[in-house]
Every structure is written in C-alpha cells, then in structure tokens.
Amino acid sequence: MGAVDPIPEADPAPRRASRRSPAKAVESSLRIVGVGGGKGGIGKSLVSASVAIELARRGKRVVVVDADLGGANLHTCLGVDLPSAGLGDFLERRVERLDEALVPTGVPNLSLLSGAHDPLDVANPKHQQKMRLFRGIQALDVDFAVLDIGGGTNFNVLDFFLLADHGILTLVPEPTSVENAYRFLKAAFYRRLRAVETVYGLGDLLSEIGRAPAGTVTGPRTLLAQVRERDVATGDLLEREMKKFRPRLVVNMARTEGDQGVGAAVVSAWRKYFGLDMDYLGCIGYDDEVWRCVRSRRALLLEQPEGRTAQAISGIVGRLLEIDSSLLREEN
C-alpha cells in the first residue's frame, strides 16, 4: 500500500456531526449513500443510478447526486437529457437551496442533482464551498441521497465518501482495481482520523505515517498499537472510533465463478491486515446490456427490470436496507 500524504491544515477533513441526535432526528431521517472507488471505469455511475432507482421502486424518496466533480455524466446512465439545472447553480448561488436545482428522472420518487453544467473549476472547490454543498445535501428533504463520487483519492473525493452513512466501495475483480480499492479505503480511513486527531492526540503519529516511504507496512492495527503504548484509555477511545469506519463492498462486472469469490476475499483481507470490518453487499455479473443501454442513453434497470443486473441490484439494496435498519435500532 502507498503512503498517505498528510492533510494540510488549510483543508481539514469535514467534521460530520451525527444527524441522529435527538434534535436532528426530528428534523430529518435522511440517509446518505456514497458510491466510490479507487479508480474510474469500474461502474460507479451504473451502481449509483441502479441503487437509486431500486430504492425509489421500494417507495423511498430519493435524490441521486452527481458528485463526480468535473466529470459528471450520471444523467446518461439514467436516460435523462442534459439537465438545465444542477450543482453549478448552487455553487454559483443562482439558487440558495439544492432542491431548487433538482430535475425529474421520469422514475417516481427519484430526482437528479446533476453536475453536467458545472463550471470548469468545480473539480477544486474552496473549502467553504464544499462545506456549503455538504450542508445542502444534508438538508435535502428525502429518505436517501445517493452520491455518485469520482475516482481517485483526492481530498474532495474522500470527503464525499466520508459524508455518507453508507460508503459503498465499488471494484471490479482485477488486481489493479483491488489494489486501488485498498489504497482508497486506507486514505479515507486516515482522512477520517484527521477530523478527530485533536481529540485523540494523533497529529504526530498521522504525520509520521504520512511521511512513511512507499511500501512501508502501516495500517489501523499498527496505529492503534502505537497509541495504546502511549495511553491505554486513548487507545480504547480510538478503537471505538475506528469501528465506526465500516465500508460496504460491491463487486462489479464479475465474469467467472472465481470473480464471484473476490468480494469475500477482500472482506477477509481487510479484516486480517487492517483489523476493521466491512460489509459485503453483493456481486453484479458482467452484462453486455450495460454498454448497450449507456450507448443508447437508456437506464438499464428501466429497460430490463427483471434482468440479471436488476436482480443483483435488488439483492444489494435489500442488504443495504437491512444494515441501515440495524444501525437505526442501535442508535435509538
């Protein structure tokens, strides 16, 4: 795994307050689902669009957000014409609320917040702009906001992933994709710790890990052991914080029986080497209809609602809702 660059103080990780506090619980029941991954071309937009459609089919009020800043194309996966409104209108303050920039998708209960008309510099928003956007997403009056996040490990990508109640890691069963997925999760994990480093006194340790040479074996287990050596009580607090970082996993474009076993292997390796848990939501098999639908600008789940991919997405969403219900019971 590659070393993680230190996060500059000028762009701190967002401190995401729980929306499950008593006051907030009355205001909103919104749950945010972030679909990310270590690289492009692994089907994040397809997964985002399909999960959003399936949630809407189940009667949930859903907004799907094209959060691939600078590379937005989610409307194509939804079969929607180029939207006339979107994130750019909010960022440039032509509208004050994100719900004023929503466009219909033709699917009952589902709206799109597009990024297709974003200004050229939207890929690198200022910290204040990003925080305003995050607050806008959290204020949406729906049951679920599904974020289609760009690839890579830059701060904006990681922060969108960390904003989510459910961060879905998407990968394809190829060695480079799996390696990039681990790198993405490791970067997201340390980015999250940056938001609490003052509380746990982790600044020096994180900076030391960030400066470690490529190939150095470091991870959450090592970090926890180092903190415990200094202070057992702080180590216990850190362990509880670490357990809150629990990504969900979807394997896309599986072609063989061996491909279908990649998900369980990734979960096992993540637990063994990093000491953290991960929930495997399911596997989506390779489907020629995917590229056909994208080329003809049609939503796959609407074209083939009983097809193999639709069935796989149904299972993934069912598992996601089970996990969500379990978390809500624990929080209440």
**pLDDT of 126-173, one tens digit each?**
888 889 999 999 999 999 999 999 888 989 899 999 999 999 999 999
**pLDDT of 169-200, one tens digit each?**
999 999 999 999 999 998 999 899 887 787 77
Report how far apart, in Å, the C-alpha atoms of 194 and of each of 14, 18, 85, 189, 220 are: 9, 17, 34, 9, 13
Report how far apart, in Å, the C-alpha atoms of 262 and of each of 88, 93, 256, 301 are: 38, 44, 10, 24
CATH of 22-327, one of 3.40.980.10, 3.90.1200.10, 3.40.50.300, 1.20.58.1030: 3.40.50.300
**pLDDT of 251-283, one tens digit each?**
999 999 999 999 999 999 999 888 899 999 999
Residue 47, number of CB atoms within 10 A of its CB: 24
Residue 1: how many CA atoms within 13 Å on its side-chain side?
22
Q: Tell which wins on pLDDT, 241 or 199.
A: 241
**Distance separating alpha carbons of residues 275 and 122, to the nearest angstrom:** 36
Could you tell me if 248 and 323 are in contact, meaning their C-beta atoms sit under 8 angstroms apart? yes
**pLDDT of 53-82, one tens digit each?**
999 999 999 999 999 877 778 888 898 888
Nearest to 110 by CA among 25, 164, 48: 48
Whether residue 48 is predicted with pLDDT greater than 70 in this model: the reply is yes
Pairing assessment for the beta strands 166-171 and 279-285 based on DSSP bridges: unpaired
Q: Please name the helix (run of DSSP H) or strand (run of DSSP E) that holds residue 268, with its range, or none.
A: helix 262-274
**Assessment of whether the complete model's pTM goes beyond 0.85:** yes
Strand partners, 205: none
Nearest to 274 by CA among 223, 225, 226, 219: 219
